[in-house]
Every structure is written in structure tokens, then in C-alpha cells.
Amino acid sequence: MSEFVARYGELTEAAPQDGRVNVICRSGGRSAQVTMYLVQQGIDAVNVAGGMEAWAVSGRPVVDDQGQPGAVV
């Protein structure tokens, strides 16, 4: 999160102009702050409530960046 504002341009370059950005972190707190910032910048952003912890508890798949089974730590 400390790098987010400095790297904001990377998001605006990669995000579709008419698409929604889903923001997620481990528990939902940091992603809520980033979501508020994005919305203030005019981006259609939503916070994934409960973060990755809630995602995993609900039985949704968690994978690492190689597509292998992952874990929320």
C-alpha cells in the first residue's frame, strides 16, 4: 500500500477504460483504503469485502502466481 500512489500510473495504463477494478488484500482493510482513493480518482473500483481470508474460508480457489494451490497467510 505504501507504493500504491507512486505506482498508480501502472493501474491506469492496464485497467480497461470501461471496466471495474476489484481491489483485494488479506483482510479487506488496506484494500478498502485503496478503493476509496481509486473512486476519488474517478475509477469504478470495489473492495472485495473480507479480503483473501473470507475468500478462502468461503471455499473459493486460492492459487499462487504459478497457478499452483496457494494459502492465505
Q: Which residues of 26-55 are buried (b: 16+ CB within 10 A; e: fewer)?
A: bebebbbebbebbeeeebebebbebbbebb
Q: How far is CA 68 from CA 29, 61, 65, in A?
A: 26, 10, 7
The answer to whether 25 is a known catalytic residue is: yes
Catalytic residue among 25, 39, 43, 54: 25
Positions annotated as catalytic residues are 25
